[in-house]
Amino acid sequence: MGKIATKYVAMNPRRCVACWECVEKCPKHVIGKVGSLWHKHVAFKDAEACIGCNKCVKTCSHGVFFKPDEAPLSALPDFVHRKASFMTKWMLPLAFVVSAVSGIGLHIAGHGSNHEVWHNWAVVHVLSSLLWLISVACHIKRHGRWYKTIATKGIGKKSRITLFLSVVLLIVAVTGVVMIVCVDGANSTIGLWHYKLGLLLIVLSLIHVVRRKRIG
């Protein structure tokens, strides 16, 4: 797992957005990458090798690193950080699976004759999708700098898959809201588009996870 402090520097990994700039800047390779499939962060993999150059402190704009005797309030564990960590590590993948399965089940039920089955799938899909969107919002918030950089400097070398995924996610969310508010019943035109884009969203999400896993 690694440590969260050396003789010269401490860190709050909950603030890490996994940009890995500090890993590249560290001259002694003190900092390493750790984390789960859906959430990654840094840790001191070789704390004894730290020479106190403070390049990590200067490089990170998210306040992950600080001197042990100058710990900011934001570096202290609190309910907000724990909640965000729970949403990205556990709720995001769980809600994703339930939303995907229920979406496919809802589409299949829409071609059947049992309205009650269709209705039950619809309830599960709406609730799980709402939880997934909340989890995604927490995940995007942690990586807000990624989107700000694109807005100011363009896509550059950043992942086009992630950008495409974000656009598709927005369209799927909008069409989902439109159906809840304006559409009554199954087999609508917008519902079919929502389903097809949802399948594309599933594929892009899986590609995103695999790519992040390889990078990490």
Q: Per-residue pLDDT tens for 186-197?
A: 778 899 999 999
Q: Tell me, rounded to whole angstroms, the distance of Cα 81 from its chain centroid.
A: 14
List, in order, residues 6 or more apart from 5 with CB less than 8 Å away: 11, 44, 47, 68
Nearest to 159, CA basis, from 102, 208, 106: 208
List, in order, residues 6 or more apart from 175 with CB less than 8 Å away: 190, 193, 194, 197
Q: Is residue 108 helix, strand or coil?
A: helix
In 45-182, beta strands by DSSP E: 65-66
C-alpha separations of 184 from 70, 115, 177, 178, 213 in Å: 58, 12, 12, 11, 40
Q: What is the pTM of this model?
A: 0.63
Per-residue pLDDT of 12-46, as tens digits, reads 887 888 889 999 999 999 999 887 655 678 989 98
Long-range contacts of range 176-180, CB-CB < 8 Å, 24 or more positions apart?
176/126, 176/129, 180/126
Mean pLDDT of the chain: 83
Per-residue pLDDT of 67-79, as tens digits, reads 876 554 444 444 4
Q: What is the chain's length?
A: 216
For the CA atoms of 17, 207, 158, 61, the dihedral, rounded to the nearest 10 degrees, stands at 0
Banded pLDDT at 63 (limits 50, 70, 90):
confident
Q: Which of 160-169, 191-200, 205-214 has the lowest mean pLDDT?
A: 205-214
Q: Give residue limits of the domains in the chain.
A: 10-75, 79-215
Q: Which CATH number does 10-75 carry? A: 3.30.70.20
